[in-house]
């Protein structure tokens, strides 16, 4: 039976019988299935007017944006819910018995490299992979592909190159090269948040406590958002997504109980950023000052489910964090953390450095 005896991880895709592609979210999954985000949907059952959907409409699909995927599945396909013991609730996901096909990021890249499609985007993908292999110590097995490339519904002229990078050590080897290429005006890759900064400035910030300029400045130094200059007009985006190796996964869904409390805002120091590369991202923190909320609280971790707040700060930097205070109980320990996710009031969530990043 599909799904039995295999392990899927963040960014892998699951195809279900209605034709909906679900993106496996993170690494903490119940024994019954996988927590997922609805990613791509046949236009025969859902139609969005988002202009970016033109990238994959020719394959009969459109992409969910924001919360519309979760809202659509919850209303129309409630069978795609799985129990999530840590929060004693159910979340959008796919049970093993409902998996029609699994698409793994690592396996799909190997298939493309062996038998590449004859189109422009596949050509740029192979060129990019070859360049990385030639100029770094990264191996083919350290990389994969996700998104519409993985699903096989990409548009050669409009889709992006989405690359997975497996393991903390691998990503930390690759990131300095990316930053070096970005810094060279004639480098192989350019920094998306320098080249295309104007289009981001024209959009309002979705959050109340961080400006659009601050978001751009933080994204600029992450190194995971690039552009392949001159590849096509207006530009070809390249994203590098850090993914945990299988031996780096600690399935918290099998060993945790999380009890949510009230909102809290603190000033803190980052004590560990190693797990901030991934989604969900985690930070070790030392609480320095409670600015809003329970003044007796002293959370030691941040657990973040919001894409913008991944890799926002590094060890020893001071940050402002605002989210929901949670008490976590595990078999051998317990602690308080701040959770950044999408409950009502998510616009007030924030994680940003204090005076460490300038636009």
User: Where does the pLDDT of residue 156 fall: very low under 50, low under 70, confident under 90, or very high at 90 and above?
Assistant: confident
> What number of residues does the chain have?
359
pLDDT at 57: 60
The full DSSP string for 14-83 is EE-TTS-EEEE-SS---TTEEEEEEEEEETTT-----GGGHHHHTTTEEE--TTHHHHHHHHH-TTSEEE
Taking a C-beta distance cutoff of 8 angstroms, is the pair 330, 323 a contact? no
Q: Look at 1-5, 42-46, 70-74 and tell me which has the smallest mean pLDDT.
A: 1-5
pTM: 0.92
pLDDT at 5: 43
Q: How far apart are CA 272 and CA 301, in angstroms?
A: 9
Q: How far apart are CA 279 and CA 13, in angstroms?
A: 15
pLDDT at 200: 83
Radius of gyration of the chain (CA): 20
| pLDDT tens profile 272-314 | 999 999 999 999 999 999 999 999 999 999 999 999 999 999 9
Domain ranges of the chain: 13-102, 105-246, 256-353
For the chain, the average pLDDT equals 91
Share of residues in the chain with pLDDT > 70 (%): 95
CA distance readout (Å), 352 to 18, 57, 322: 40, 36, 10
Q: How far apart are CA 200 and CA 223, in angstroms?
A: 17
Cis, peptide link before residue 82, omega less than 30° from 0 = no
Tell me the H-state helices in 77-167: 105-114, 120-135, 148-151
pLDDT at 342: 80
Q: Residue 359's closest CA among 233, 159, 210?
A: 210
pLDDT score of 135 more than 90 = yes
User: Where does the pLDDT of residue 65 fall: very low under 50, low under 70, confident under 90, or very high at 90 and above?
Assistant: confident
Could you identify the residue written with the tokens 């139609």? Answer: 47
- Among 231-240, 254-263, 315-324, the range of highest mean pLDDT: 315-324
User: Where does the pLDDT of residue 50 fall: very low under 50, low under 70, confident under 90, or very high at 90 and above?
Assistant: low
Question: What does the pLDDT average to over 113-128?
Answer: 94
User: Where does the pLDDT of residue 355 fall: very low under 50, low under 70, confident under 90, or very high at 90 and above?
Assistant: confident
Question: What does the pLDDT average to over 338-354?
Answer: 92
Share of residues in the chain with pLDDT > 90 (%): 76
Q: Pick one of 2.30.31, 3.90.1200, 2.40.50, 2.60.120 as the CATH number of 256-353.
A: 2.40.50
Q: How far apart are CA 77 and CA 281, in angstroms?
A: 28
Report helix, strand or coil for 186: coil
User: Where does the pLDDT of residue 140 fall: very low under 50, low under 70, confident under 90, or very high at 90 and above?
Assistant: very high
Give 215-223 contacts, CB < 8 A, sequence gap 24+. 215/308, 216/359, 217/357, 217/358, 217/359, 218/312, 218/352, 218/353, 218/357, 219/192, 219/193, 219/308, 220/191, 220/193, 220/194, 221/179, 221/357, 222/310, 222/311, 223/175, 223/178, 223/179, 223/182
Could you identify the residue written with the tokens 């317990």? Answer: 334
């Amino acid at each position: 039976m599909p799904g039995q005896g295999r392990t899927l991880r963040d960014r892998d895709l699951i195809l279900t019988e209605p034709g909906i592609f679900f993106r496996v979210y993170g690494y903490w999954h119940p024994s019954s299935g996988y927590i997922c985000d609805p990613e791509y949907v046949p236009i025969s059952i859902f139609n969005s007017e988002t202009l970016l959907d033109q990238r994959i409409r020719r394959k009969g699909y459109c992409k969910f944006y924001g919360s519309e995927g979760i809202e659509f599945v919850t209303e129309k396909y409630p069978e795609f819910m799985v129990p999530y013991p840590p929060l004693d609730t159910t979340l959008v996901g796919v049970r093993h018995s409902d998996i029609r096909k699994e698409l793994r990021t690592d396996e799909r890249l190997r298939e493309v490299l062996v038998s590449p499609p004859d189109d422009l985007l596949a050509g740029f993908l192979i060129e990019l992979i070859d360049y990385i292999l030639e100029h770094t110590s990264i191996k083919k097995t350290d990389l994969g592909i996700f998104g519409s490339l993985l699903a096989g519904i990409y548009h050669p002229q409009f889709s992006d190159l989405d690359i997975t990078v497996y393991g903390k050590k691998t990503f930390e080897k690759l990131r300095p090269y990316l930053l070096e290429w970005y810094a060279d005006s004639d480098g192989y890759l350019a920094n998306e948040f320098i080249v295309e900064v104007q289009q981001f400035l024209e959009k309002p910030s979705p959050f109340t406590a961080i400006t659009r300029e601050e978001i751009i400045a933080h994204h600029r130094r992450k190194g995971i958002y690039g552009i392949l200059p001159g590849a096509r007009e207006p530009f070809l985006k390249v994203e590098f997504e850090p993914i945990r190796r299988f031996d780096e996964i600690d399935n918290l869904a099998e060993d945790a109980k999380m009890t949510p409390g009230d909102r809290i805002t603190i000033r803190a120091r980052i004590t560990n950023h190693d797990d901030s590369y991934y989604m969900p991202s985690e930070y070790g923190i030392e609480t320095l000052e409670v600015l809003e909320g329970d003044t007796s609280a002293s959370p030691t971790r941040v657990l973040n489910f919001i894409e913008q707040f991944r890799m926002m700060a590094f060890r020893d930097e001071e940050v402002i964090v605002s989210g929901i205070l949670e008490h976590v109980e595990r078999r051998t320990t317990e602690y308080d953390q701040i959770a950044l996710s999408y409950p009502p009031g998510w616009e007030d969530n924030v994680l940003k450095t204090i005076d460490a990043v300038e636009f």
